[in-house]
Structures are given as C-alpha cells and as structure tokens.
Amino acid sequence: MHEKYFDHAATTPVDERVLAEMLPYFNEHPGNASSIHHLGKRAEAAVDLARQRVANLLGAEDPYQITFTSGATESNNWVLSRFPIDRIDASPFEHSSVRNFLSYHQCYRGESGLELYAQVLIDNETGAVFCPAEEKKSRGALEVLVDATQGLGKIAFDLEGLDFVSGSAHKIYGPKGVGFLYEANPHLTPMVVGGWQEFGRRSGTLNVPGIVGLGMAAELAREEREVNFAQATELRNIIREELDGIDNLKFNESANQSPFILSVSVLGVEGETIVLDMDQKGFCLSAGSACSSKSTALSPLLLSFGVEPEWIRGTFRISIGKDNSRESSRELGENLRITILNLRNSKKS
C-alpha cells in the first residue's frame, strides 16, 4: 500500500495484523486494566501478554523489567530526570529527547563520577550503529541509557551491560502514542504519579489497545527481523546503485551501518527542496529526522563524520521499510536522479 513511502525512520504504517489484534480492545473488551471485574481482568491479561512479547523481542529475562509509557521520548525523559544533572553525559548523536533534555535542563558534567551515560543504538539520521555497552565501559559510567528506537526489530543487540533501553511502537509497525522502558534492575522512581499502575512506576489508565498493538508489533518484529533485514539490504543496494555516479553526491555511511537508512548528501541543492519535489512525485523522504524537521541546526553526527556544512544542507534521508519493493526502490532512485539534476539545472538558469 505504501510502496513509495521511504520515511520509515520517522514512523511506520500500522501492520494490518497489529491493527487486527488491537481492534477488539477499543470496543468489544473495553475494560480498565485496573478494574476487578471480568472486563478489567481481560484487559489486564492482554497487557500481560504484550509485556511478555516486548520482553521476548529484547531478550529480557523477566517481563517485570518492562514498563509501558507513551513512547520513547517519555521513557528517555523519565530516566534522565531521575539522575543528578551534573552526573549525566550523552553521546553527541542522541535523539532530540535526550539532547534537548540535557540542554533544556542545563545538565553539565561535574567533577563527580558519571552516573548515567546516554548512547543511542542507531542514529536516526544516518543509520550509524553504536555499541552502548562499550561506550558505557569506556566512559566509566555506572549506568547506560540506550534509545533503541531505530534498532528494535532491525538489528540484533544484546542486553548484556545495558541498564535502560527505550523504544516506541510506531517505529516497528505498531501504533503511535505507546512505548516502553526496559530496566535491567527496576529501581527508578516514577516521573508520573497517580493510581500506581505499572508496578507503581508509571501512573495513568493503561492504554490497552496501544499496548496490545506494541506487543503484537514486537512479536512480528522478532519473527521477521531477519527477513526484513535482508529485504532492506537489497533495496538499499538498489537505490544506492541508481544514485551512484551522480556528480557531487555522497553517501553518509559508517563502518557499522543499518541497512534501513540511507543518508545522501548532494552539493548545490537543499535537502528540503529535494524532499518537497519528490513528494510531488508521491515519494515520502525526509530532510533530517522528523523530530528535528522544523529545526535548521546542522546535524552533529554529520559534522562529526567530517561532512561539510554545504553538503549537510543538501542532505536527505531515505528510510526503508517492509512496504517498499524492488520496483519502487528502483523508481525512487530514478526519480531522485532526475530531481537532483533538474533542481541543479534550474538554479543555473
């Protein structure tokens, strides 16, 4: 249905199988999971199953390590807000929910020991893959927060050495507005207080259909990870080949790279102009990450890659998903070639 949607790192369409699992919980089984009657118990059981499924995706020992939240942004804020602001540090490549938290709260690295280091698993602009357990060790941090949003169901990763892992359903073909936090050793005090849902860790009436959707999305992501990885690798290569050979174009790639994201920089055209032109042709791309699409700041990661500002301004992101096909990938490449050349020519004339 969404063959020309190449913006899966921003959000994904809900998988029909996920939606089918969610639907009965909107109306047929509408209970509040805290209620003691049969509709409440039914809702609670559905939440329990979802918790187990998320634990399975992560390879967590115990579903009790999973807390449901409204999404990875909340999860990240929750963790960061529980630590002293002079004992947190983060990689320069963090998602805005970590980066902007630190700057907004004027966090600074003090003289005392590092309690929390935040290291994203996969950068959402370039697809660069990091190794948070190693970063934690090399920084001498007591604990590490890993925003795994772009890695869940995409690459295999090991919980060994990780203390907090956050994610969102809507990046793995689940619904928006629901996510989770994994704690290796659950001990965080709550950020949201009220009816003591979620073992007292996160209050508020549970979003039962959303949680059911997250659970099913996690189940499918686990089962289909290898197939999806192989497909993304193939489609990325097709697009790459189509673009290869265009003058003044380069791929922003790291040694350890996710195949789901292809970051491209060109000279002489703005990334946003390319995205808007391609949109006219029905293709959805992104100039940066959706979370920073309204900001004009230059990507710290691209700068660290040594990409120069004039190239960064001509950067766009292709993010591949299971809706995409070989045909639409080839078509994307062909259209991008035409778009870039046309835009360059129109600037000359």
Q: Shortest gap between Cβ of 341 and its own copies (angstroms)?
A: 21
DSSP codes joined into one string, 285-323: -BSS-GGGTT--PPPHHHHHTT--HHHHTTEEEEE--TT
- Closest CB 84 distance from its own copies, rounded Å: 17
**318 closest CA partner among 8, 94, 15:** 8
- If the CB atoms of residues 4 and 133 are measured against its own copies, the closer one turns out to be 4
Sign of CA dihedral 9, 13, 17, 18: positive
Between residue 259 and residue 318, which ones bind its own copies under the rule CB under 8 A?
272, 275-276, 278-279, 284-287, 290-295
| 207 is a site residue for its own copies (CB under 8 A) | yes
Residue 144 CA to residue 139 CA, distance in Å, equals: 10
43-72: which residues touch its own copies (CB under 8 A)?
70-72
What letter would DSSP give residue 7? B
In this chain, which of 49, 85, 139, 176 binds its own copies, going by CB under 8 A? 176
Shortest approach of its own copies to residue 44 CB, angstroms?
A: 11
Q: Does 82 bind its own copies (CB under 8 A)?
A: no
Number of chain positions touching its own copies (CB under 8 A): 75
Q: Which of 113, 121, 71, 111 is nearest to 91 (CA)?
A: 121
291 is catalytic: yes
Which of 99, 150, 146, 151 lies closest to 124, judged by CA?
Answer: 150
**For residue 143, which of 210, 91, 106, 89 has the smallest C-alpha distance?**
89
Rounded least distance, CB 158 to its own copies, Å = 27
Is residue 203 near its own copies by the rule CB under 8 A? yes
Q: Segment contacting its own copies (CB under 8 A): 50-58, 180-188, 189-197, 326-334?
A: 189-197
Helix extents (H) in 111-207: 132-139
Among 21, 51, 57, 76, binds its own copies (CB under 8 A): 76
Beta bridge partners of 168: 179
- Say which of 107, 131, 284, 291 is annotated catalytic: 291
| Residue span 211-250 as binding mask against its own copies, x where in contact by CB under 8 A, dash where not | ----------------------------------------
Chain residues 100-139 in contact with its own copies, contact rule CB under 8 A: 100-101, 104-105
Largest separation between any pair of C-alpha atoms in the chain:
72
